[in-house]
Amino acid sequence: MTSRPASALPAPSDLPRLHHAELTLADSAAAHQGLVGLVSAAGGLSDRPQWLIGTNGRLVACTARAREISTPRWESLTEMDGGIDTDSLAATMVPPSPAHGLARRHLVVPVARRGIIHAWWVVAEMPRLFEEADRILADRVAHHLATEYDAQHRVARAAWNARSLLARQLVRGSGAEDDLVASGEYLGVNVDSKRLVVYLSDPTEKGRTETEGHGLGRPSRTGHIAHTGDEARAAARLASALGVEVLGTQGNQGTILLVEVPDGRAPADFVHEVKYAVGRYLQPRNDDGRPGAAVGVSSVTDRMGLRRAYREAREVARCVDRFSPRGQRILAVDDLGPARLFVANADTEAIRAYVSEVLGPLLGGDETQRSLLVTLQSYFGHDRSIRASARALAVHENTVRLRLGRVHEFTGLDVAGNANDQLSVQTALLVLQLTGALPEKNAPANETDHRRIA
């Protein structure tokens, strides 16, 4: 790596040119023309090919002259002998290396502010050799680009903070209605849109004990969200996947995402889409295969119901956290029903004892017992309809009646006629579903909804 020495004083004959360059760059910045405007202005000040390359190695913008030749490969600039040190704030003169596709020298200047490198300004040594004025000009271009990056980041942070605050006010039901509407209009957010709440829980000490350890862990190599504190990234990724607006904020023990529901979309279908998108794009699982964050998805609601929806999503996430360490980690409120209140808050061992007491005679594991459990799940999943259950199980209606009778014989519970017995069995079935002993109910019959956002 060849780090060039500090710039010498420019030749007197170069001062008018450099003065003109500084005024041009300053005018472009003052006109709020952005990064592309600054790069275009730089192109008018020099006939050398020049590129703005991001820290990810991708081209951000280039001058008109640079479009006529190939962009230098980022790997060539960084990995060859004499290449740049991506951690260094010093400008580097990269030597030519035909083997790496570099036929000439390239001057690489970090676009940095406050010790943070935002990008790299790359200048090719053509059509003539570098002069000191070229080095000074590259420094000034990098300086103005860094100022623009810094300003954009500050604006983005301010805008995100405002959107995060609005999301927090919506789920808490706080703030005067006029203030919420005004804030939404300023941010371009329709606060009266229907939404659902996605809650990604942070691991708690109790949760780690009960589920043998979990959490989103270190950043994922695949680029998915790897920590629930990344609510800005999580909201942006989910919004892109679903094609809707997503507001995000940080709760006391997890990340809260408010997902706008498109007009005309059936609520149940959209809930399935959201669950699929969260699993695919936010990856609530550690890289080493251990379970990640527990995720709860609320039902669809209007603005006045968001506080309740937030509570629902948290209860679902807590149920998942406590009883599904290696099973389904993303569930919706309709997957669990009202029994989630008991499952989310009661003592864990007491719940397990409760399940054993209610359905113990059916937990032996043989095929007959399992068919009775699946029949019970289908029966309650279809609002206790014998006909719908038989259709879903592909059996005769009398077969469903016979199996419910067998359940009564084994357990003493009259699930067809006693409301208390029905609630007891539904609660026990919920725990079995969470632990993976039963399949998730209400799963989509096909992947139609999933293809829409794949």
Residue-wise pLDDT for 188-235, tens only, equals: 888 999 999 999 986 543 443 333 332 222 233 333 443 444 788 889
Residue 434 confidence (pLDDT) = 76
User: Quick check: helix, strand or coil at residue 196?
Assistant: strand
For the four alpha carbons of 136, 142, 145 and 150, in that order, the dihedral sign comes to negative
Give the model's pLDDT for residue 87.
87
List, in order, residues 6 or more apart from 336 with CB less than 8 Å away. 316, 319, 343, 430, 433, 434
* Overall size of the chain counted in residues: 454
Quick one: fold of 192-345?
A: Alpha-Beta Plaits (3.30.70)
* DSSP code for 415: T
Put residue 81 in one of left, alpha, beta given phi > 0 → left and psi -120 to 50 → alpha. Answer: beta
Rounded distance, CA 344 to CA 342, Å? 6
DSSP track, 117-167: EEEEEEEE--SS---HHHHHHHHHHHHHHHHHHHHHHHHHHHHHHHHHHHH
Residue with tokens 């790997």: 75
Does 33 score more than 70 pLDDT?
yes
* pTM of the model as a whole: 0.58
Which pLDDT score is estimated for 328? 65
Q: Is 420 exposed, middle or buried (0-12, 13-18, 19+ CB in 10 A)?
A: exposed
Identity of residue 211: T
| Percent of residues in the chain assigned helix, strand, coil, to nearest 5 | 50, 15, 35
For 47-51, 266-270, 297-301, 377-381, which range has the lowest pLDDT when averaged over its residues? 377-381
Backbone angles phi, psi at 54, to 5 degrees: -70, 170
Choosing among 1.10.10.10, 3.90.226.10, 3.50.50.60, 1.10.10.2840, the CATH entry for 347-454 is 1.10.10.2840
In the predicted structure, residue 261 carries a pLDDT above the cut 50: yes
* CB distance 438 to 335 below 8 Å: no
Q: Would you list the domain boundaries of the chain?
A: 12-152, 192-345, 347-454
Res 435: pLDDT: 76
Residues 6+ apart with CB under 8 A from 350: none
Residue 326 phi, psi dihedral angles, 5° rounding: -130, 15
CA distances to 131, 258, 263, 268 from 304, rounded to whole Å, are: 66, 13, 18, 20
pLDDT digits (tens, 9 = 90+) for 372-429: 888 988 888 888 899 998 999 999 999 999 999 988 888 888 888 888 888 888 888 8
Q: Are strands 295-297 and 330-332 parallel, antiparallel or unpaired?
A: parallel
Report the pLDDT value the prediction gives residue 419, as an integer from 0 to 100: 85
Mean predicted confidence (pLDDT) in 128-141:
94
| pLDDT given for residue 283 in this prediction | 62
Cβ neighbours of residue 323 closer than 8 Å, sequence gap 6 or more:
343, 348, 351, 431, 434, 435
CA proximity to 166, closest of 241, 256, 274: 256
- Give dist(CA 48, CA 42) in Å, integer: 10
Please give the CATH topology (third level) of the domain spanning 12-152: Beta-Lactamase (3.30.450)
pLDDT at res. 359: 87
Check residue 327 and give its pLDDT: 57
What is the DSSP code string of 345-359? HS-HHHHHHHHHHHH
List Cβ neighbours of 69 (8 Å cut-off, separation of 6 or more): 49, 124
Band of the pLDDT at 326, cuts 50, 70, 90?
low
Nearest to 119 by CA among 152, 94, 163: 152
pLDDT at residue 307 in the model: 92
Residue 357 in this model has a pLDDT that exceeds 90: no
End-to-end CA distance of the chain: 44
pLDDT tens digits for range 430-452: 888 777 777 665 444 333 333 33
What pairing do the DSSP bridges indicate for beta strands 195-201 and 254-260?
Answer: antiparallel
Q: How far apart are CA 450 and CA 184, in angstroms?
A: 30
